[in-house]
Amino acid sequence: MSKFTYYTDGAATMIHKNGKYLREAGGWAFVLLIDGKKSLNQSGGCPLTTNNEMELYAIYASMKDFLSKANAEDVIEICSDSSYCIDIFTKWGINWQKNGWKRKGNKPIENLEIIKAIWKLMSEIKNKSCILNFIKVKGHSSDRFNNMADELAVSAKSEAFKSQKTVGYSGKDDDLLGGKSGHA
């Protein structure tokens, strides 16, 4: 049994123009430790996105990576400084699913496509007899690997802005990224 610890982060820029917030480029990243030793990192970005989408995509990419490597009974830890992301998968998601993927009051869920994609990966992890834990870490603190993921995400955001290219998991384009309009 091995323990895969993924430190995930996202970064995005929004600008305020004519009384509205407009989306700009973003980046996502993860840093992987296997049994406490740094193994690899990966990052990518999108020219038109939000911070929450990038945070979620980092989790998605981490789970994809885990499933490509894991054996039965392995443990995956997702370490994120995003309370939004942690709460989706540890508190809110089960009720959203029961309610046909709607929030209370029949309100739509933002980022639903990527949330459902992660939910599916969570099932695949469970079906592989692996253990999944979400861990909230403090952002912009003394956590070396969280800071490393943040630096990678910010760098990927800059690259996405310059290149205007979308880079998903394993360096590929991904339909889960950047399907948003220009307004928040």
Note the pLDDT of residue 103.
87
Q: Is residue 86 part of a domain?
A: yes
Note the pLDDT of residue 54.
96
Q: How far is Cα 142 from Cα 85, in angstroms, rounded to an integer?
A: 21
Note the pLDDT of residue 143.
84
3-state secondary structure of 159: helix
The radius of gyration computed from the CA coordinates of the chain, to the nearest angstrom, equals 16
Q: Is residue 161 part of a domain?
A: yes
What's the CA angle centered on 145, arms 141 and 23, to 5 degrees? 75
Cα 130 to its chain centre, rounded Å, is 19
Neighbours of 123 (CB within 10 A): 10
Q: How far is Cα 1 from Cα 114, in angstroms, rounded to an integer?
A: 29
Cα 87 to its chain centre, rounded Å, is 13
Count up the domains in the chain and report the number.
1
Placement of tokens 């929450």 in the chain: 52
**What CATH number does the domain containing 80 carry?**
3.30.420.10
Q: How far is Cα 162 from Cα 39, in angstroms, rounded to an integer?
A: 28
Q: Is residue 184 part of a domain?
A: no
Q: Is residue 90 part of a domain?
A: yes
Q: Is residue 179 part of a domain?
A: no
Q: Is residue 114 part of a domain?
A: yes
Q: Is residue 183 part of a domain?
A: no
Amino acid at 98: K
Note the pLDDT of residue 179.
59
Note the pLDDT of residue 183.
35
Q: Is residue 180 part of a domain?
A: no
> Which stretches of the chain score pLDDT less than 70?
179-184
Note the pLDDT of residue 167.
94
